[in-house]
Amino acid sequence: MTSARGTSASARLARVGFSEPGRAAAALESPTLAPVLADEEVLSALAVVADPDAALGALGGLLEATGDATALLEALHTDESLRRGLLGVLGASDALAGHLVRHPEHWRLLAGDTSVRPTWNGLRSWLLDAVGADPGSESPVASAYGAVALDALRVAYRGALTGLAARDIGAGADVGDVA
């Protein structure tokens, strides 16, 4: 039997664009996602992503995976750029949503002004740091090797790709900026 709260939540979610409002309302009653239902900014941002249902599910996974769900919820409430970018990515790409759940610290890469494109040198430094190489060296040499280096490079690359997707989806970057 659906509670009065569940029914009104389902109707509200249907009005804002969820395709499975009953399922979303049930998810939002979980302790992890309950704060989202009370946060109009976050709920409104979820409603306009490509797949609000997928974004909500991925957000639940991210909140459970992160060591500090309160910090993430607060940041989503206060940082419009993070809200648009993170929720946009969670609702558009299962692969990047999965990356964020596996590496929940990467949500912080999307905080602040994501409309600013990183420089080539900044991306190079990010990837070299990931494998333990000194980006300031004339001939950087990785301190990580084999599978460890490949995994570190893959995680760093996907973190950078997540930032690119957030700029593309959340900040409305133009084709030239994204390319």
On the question of pLDDT at 175 being above 50, the answer is: yes
* pLDDT in the model for residue 102: 97
Q: Which of 52, 64, 65 is nearest to 25 (CA)?
A: 52
Convert the pLDDT of each residue in 89-143 to its tens digit: 999 999 999 999 999 999 998 887 666 677 889 899 999 999 999 999 999 999 9
| pLDDT higher at 29 or 60 | 60
What is the H or E stretch that residue 28 is in?
Answer: helix 21-28
* pLDDT in the model for residue 146: 94
On the question of pLDDT at 22 being above 60, the answer is: yes
Tokens of 49: 């992503």
Question: What number is the average pLDDT over the span 54-70?
Answer: 93
* pLDDT in the model for residue 20: 86
Q: Cα separation of 83 and 44, whole Å?
A: 10
Q: Cα separation of 110 and 116, whole Å?
A: 11
For the chain, the average pLDDT equals 87
